[in-house]
Amino acid sequence: MEPELIFRTIAIIIAAGLLLSNFDHKPALSWIANIFKRNAPVVPSINNKKDVDFLDVVESWHTLKNQCKVLELNEATHKLDEVFPLLNTEE
């Protein structure tokens, strides 16, 4: 390597060091840290538990099934019958 190329490289490194020493690194470092930070999974709280009767569940299921029938979603109606066979009292 020629000495002139070595001096130019050293001069560029010194100039870059001087420019970076005047730069505020905190926002850039916090941005980079936020990219790699793992977010904690959101766990639903169980404390807000409502008392639900079985009849409410059956009524909701019948409402859903009736809406599927009205909208002529035959496949969805059949799947509801397959998934919830015990609630199927119409047949």
Q: What does the pLDDT average to over 54-81?
A: 84
In a domain, 70, yes or no: yes
In a domain, 68, yes or no: yes
The parent domain of residue 81 ranges over 54-87
- Contact 90/81 with Cβ under 8 angstroms? no
Q: How many separate domains does the chain show?
A: 1
Q: Cα separation of 83 and 36, whole Å? A: 42
pLDDT of the residue at 47: 64
Tell me if 77 is assigned to some domain: yes
Residue 83 within a domain:
yes
Is 82 contained in some domain? Answer: yes
Considering the domain boundaries, does residue 58 fall inside one?
yes
pLDDT score, position 90: 57
Task: Evaluate whether residue 48 is within a structural domain.
Answer: no
pLDDT band, very low/low/confident/very high, at 15 (cuts 50, 70, 90): very high
- Whether 81 maps to a domain, the answer reads yes
